[in-house]
Amino acid sequence: METVVFLVVALVLAYVIVYTPVSGVFAGSEASSRQDDDKLIIPEDSALRRHFLSNLQAEIESELSPRPTCSMLKRHHDAMVSVEMEKRLFA
């Protein structure tokens, strides 16, 4: 009986650990990182600016679903990425 209870508790604990989003655990630190994200400083050097913008675009695309193969959906996806980039840059 004790073994069954132990196995049930272990399965529930494993389920909670696997399916708990990490962002929910660190909710306090998320607010401070949001304040830092609001103040993006774009580098003046052209090479650094290019790398900064490509890194920002890659970060945004990683948060979205994969890029579709249909040409019309690609345009919509690219539009969503560019709108989100403008939001983050000019916020």
Residues 32 and 53 in one domain: no
Query: What's the confidence (pLDDT) of residue 37?
Result: 52
Residues 21 and 58 in one domain: no
Residues 34 and 51 in one domain: no
Question: Which pTM was predicted?
Answer: 0.55
Domain that holds residue 91: 42-91
Query: What's the confidence (pLDDT) of residue 28?
Result: 53
Query: What's the confidence (pLDDT) of residue 68?
Result: 92
pLDDT tens per residue, the chain (91 residues)? Answer: 778 887 888 877 777 676 666 555 555 555 555 555 566 788 889 999 999 999 999 999 999 989 999 999 999 999 999 999 999 888 7
Please tell me the total count of domains within the chain: 2
Contact 88, 63 (CB under 8 A): no
Residues 21 and 59 in one domain: no
Query: What's the confidence (pLDDT) of residue 6?
Result: 79
Beta carbons within 8 Å of 40's beta carbon, 6+ residues apart: 56, 88, 89, 91
Residues 91 and 71 in one domain: yes
Alpha carbons 36 and 39: distance in angstroms, whole number: 6
Element (H, E) at 17: helix 2-19
Residues 27 and 46 in one domain: no
Residues 83 and 50 in one domain: yes
